[in-house]
Amino acid sequence: MAESESHRATGRWFVFAATVLWASTATLARFMFHARAVDPLVVVELRLTIASIVLAACLATFRRSALRIASADLPRVLVLGLFGVAAVQGSYYYSISKLGVGLAILIQYLAPALIVAFDLVRGRRVGWTMIVAVLCALAGTVMLVGGARVGQVHASPLDWGVAFFSALAFAFYIVNSKQVLARYAPETVLLYTFAIAAIFWAFRNPPWVIAAAHYPPEIWGMFLLLGLFSTLVPFTLFYMGLRRLPAAEAGVIATSEPLVAMVTAAVFLGERLGPMQLVGATFVVTAALLASRNKPEATEANVERG
């Protein structure tokens, strides 16, 4: 019994460490956008490219079997890469650049509640807990957006639209990743979807355009940090924790990410949410917690949003 509890405790620390890395690297990305004037979509492309290269090298060295994927599954993986990862990452980092770290992450945390709302619209039977999750998400969203009007955020309707699209894209990914994650190891799905998303964004920022920008070594070091510590390392930690914990428990721990993000953004960037937004943040995190407990696939796919 003691050994089992120790096993679970280690899993909790792994998941928490992953959420700390996801939240803190979002703050680093925001710093690059504003203090170093780096295009958010360039950051997205290079982060995905670096993560794909390192992950491919690791799998080729230690788990060559994880590189194989059936040709019949390629269309589904392509859809996940384009309309899941590419859409999520591009809109998420754009939102960070326009709305700030805390707001961008909190709005994406609407995704589990959106899945529940979609079930309600389709007439599926949903428990009262899930209805409460949707209501909390709605109330929290109103407070986050309403509080921003009198706060420090000066975002256009387009900026807000992209932020909410990011939550929708992540909800789409969660729903459509279930079958692929059931057939392949998470690292296989990550490799292919990250690579597809990186290639997609390379059409927007071709390699020669990025090379012509002549980024200094400091910026390339930040690209590397994001590629490794917002992707590969937290992904590894998260799934090490998930193997030791029920998905619902891991999901509860993962809801600490917005709190960590708001703290790091406040300390390093001076970003702070207003009183109404803090109440709204509580509602959104509560909604994510309630929905994720009943939607374990949301927890298992959470690594794609980091």
pLDDT of residue 42: 97
pTM of the model: 0.86
User: Do the Cβ atoms of 299 and 177 come closer than 8 Å?
Assistant: no
User: Do the Cβ atoms of 14 and 96 come closer than 8 Å?
Assistant: no
Burial grade of 118 (CB within 10 A; 0-12, 13-18, 19 or more): middle
Instruction: Kindly report, residue by residue over 4-28, the tens digit of the pLDDT.
Output: 777 788 888 888 898 899 889 999 9
- How far, rounded to the nearest angstrom, does the alpha carbon of residue 116 sit from its chain's CA centroid? 19
Does the pLDDT of residue 45 top 90, yes or no? Answer: yes
Instruction: Kindly report, residue by residue over 203-257, the tens digit of the pLDDT.
Output: 999 999 999 999 999 999 999 999 999 888 888 888 888 778 776 677 667 777 8
Burial grade of 61 (CB within 10 A; 0-12, 13-18, 19 or more): exposed
CA 171 to each of CA 115, 119, 126, 246, 269: distance values in angstroms, whole numbers, following the listed order: 6, 12, 17, 21, 29
Hey, what are 56's tokens?
């491919």
Which of 281, 305, 273, 296 lies closest to 23, judged by CA?
Answer: 305
